[in-house]
Amino acid sequence: MRFKKGLLTIIVVSITILSGCSLNIFSDVIWKYNFGTYVTSSPAISENGTIYIGNSDHSLYAFTPEGDIKWSYETESWVESSPVIGSDGTIYFGSSDGSLYALNPDGTLKWSREIGNNVEDTPATASDGTIYISSGHLYAFSPEGEEIWIIEEIYTGGDTSPVVGTDGTIYVGGSTLNPHEDFLFAVNPDGSVKWRFKLDSYHVTGSCALDEEGNSYFRASNEWLYALNHDGTLKWRCNLGEGSGSSPVIDSDGTIYVCTIKGYLYAIDRVGTVKWSKNMGFSYRATPAVGADGTIYVGANDKRFFAINSDGTVKIEYKVKSDVITSPAIADDGTAYVAVGHLVSEMFYHSEAGVLYAIKTESEGLASAPWPKFQHDNSNTGRAD
């Protein structure tokens, strides 16, 4: 079913089931769906196995675990934001038409709120259902869609999504104008600023990862990975030699994984020491995901998707049809959902851009870890609890 401005249209979908090539060339692909247009949205998986993902054709899609389209909902512009699934099954996402959307699990509109900027970042949800979204400023909305507050003093760009700690603190990168300074902000649930950590001439890229003690980890547009204590003081920083748009993730033993612009995947221990690094041409926006068996899954900007052992050796290399700049989701049955394909320019697209793959892996879900993937979990809640 396809929803567009209140109209319902039936779509007939054909999904190709692939089988039987060599291991690293589609042998483990269960199904794929070709959107035909680029994808920057990372998929989310609901409790009943439904996969949600946005696309540059202005729509949010819902797929069954077998690869059939359940429905799609069309907005007025690109859906580059990743969807977030609330505790009641509501799907929240932003569109470049300037609105935050809330959809019911059947794909009908629950509500939408115009913010006025391109809503490209991924929302986060608190345990009480409050939705936080970064789009020019930091906003808080109730589950019913009412604006609770806006922090106009914080200016946010298009590459940082908020996350929420176990105590309800919201973490987001942003800046002030007078004077112009860049910070990581920690914000209380009532909208007051708890603390801010100043960055010198650089800004936060991607979203934070939070550990079990409430410490925050994030990348800046310079060469540093930062670790802050829960009170906003510097714990340590690690020089990775180059910048990144990738967000960090944290494994069960406290190891932090992060990608850099020039193609390195780094493993860093709890005290900020590099355990190992590997140059494999990763896309600077590809955030890893850690499976239940400790395998690290991450895509590259040269049409490859990798499964990597915790010691940095390559376990499996998958050939895909385009570049990977999104983060995978890993279902409990071991299926990894990964989207490939991104915009080269506003006029030219990669061939076969915009493909959603379902790939069989040996990992039965995500690692039981503080922050195993982009926005923490398969629902993309961005919430530590």
Q: Alpha-carbon distance 132 to 100, whole Å?
A: 10
Alpha-carbon distance of 6 to 22, in angstroms, equals 46
CA distance 142 to 383: 16
* CA–CA–CA angle 257, 260, 263 (5° rounding): 105
Domains of the chain, by residue range, sit at 2-360
CA atoms within 13 A on the CB side of 145: 17
Is 92:100 a contact under the CB 8 Å cutoff? Answer: yes
> Which pair of tokens denotes residue 25?
């060339």
The distance from CA 335 to its chain's CA centroid, rounded to whole angstroms, is 18
Q: What pLDDT is stored for residue 303 in this prediction?
A: 84
DSSP calls for 237-258: EEE-SS---PPPEE-TTS-EEE
pLDDT at 306: 92
The answer to whether residues 52 and 71 touch, using CB atoms and an 8 Å cutoff, is no
Strand partners, 288: none
pLDDT attached to residue 13: 32
What was the pLDDT predicted at 22?
Answer: 32
Distance, CA of 208 to CA of 154 (rounded, Å): 17
Rounded Cα distance between 156 and 136, Å, is: 5
In terms of C-beta density within 10 A (0-12 exposed, 13-18 middle, 19 or more buried), how is residue 307 classed?
buried
> Distance between alpha carbon 190 and the CA centroid of its chain, in Å?
25
Q: Which of 209, 215, 164, 157 is nearest to 183 (CA)?
A: 157
Distance CA 289, CA 324 (A): 13
Q: What number of other Cβ atoms are within 10 A of residue 152's Cβ?
A: 9
Task: Give the pLDDT of the chain (385 residues) as one tens digit per residue.
Answer: 555 543 333 233 333 333 332 344 446 899 999 998 888 899 999 999 999 999 999 999 999 999 999 999 999 999 999 999 999 999 999 999 999 999 999 999 999 999 977 899 999 999 999 999 999 999 999 999 999 999 999 998 767 899 999 999 999 999 998 888 999 999 999 999 999 999 987 888 889 999 999 999 999 888 899 999 999 999 999 999 887 668 999 999 999 999 988 888 999 999 999 999 988 765 566 899 999 999 999 988 888 899 999 999 999 988 887 788 889 999 999 999 999 886 554 444 433 478 999 999 999 999 999 999 999 999 999 999 8
Q: What does the buried/exposed string (b/e) look like for 280-298 if buried means 16 or more CB atoms within 10 Å of the residue's CB?
A: bebbbbbbbbbbbbbbbbb
Tokens, residue 112: 């939408």
In Å, what is the CA distance from 80 to each residue of 39, 54, 131, 158, 243?
7, 6, 18, 10, 22
Alpha-carbon gap, residue 32 to 105, rounded angstroms: 22
CATH superfamily of 2-360: YVTN repeat-like/Quinoprotein amine dehydrogenase (2.130.10.10)
Q: What is the DSSP letter of 118?
A: -
Tell me the two tokens of residue 293: 């068996």
How many helices (H) and strands (E) would you count in the chain?
Answer: 0, 33
Side chain identity, residue 193: V
Looking up tokens 């077998």 gives 66
Q: Given the structure tokens 């808080």, which residue do they identify?
A: 140
Q: What is the torsional sign of CA 248, 264, 301, 344? A: positive
For 162, counting Cβ atoms within 10 Å of its Cβ (0-12 exposed, 13-18 middle, 19+ buried), the class is buried
Amino acid at 90: T
Cα torsion at 374, 379, 383, 384 (round to 10°)?
A: -80
Q: By three-state DSSP, how is residue 366 classified?
A: strand
Global pTM reads 0.91
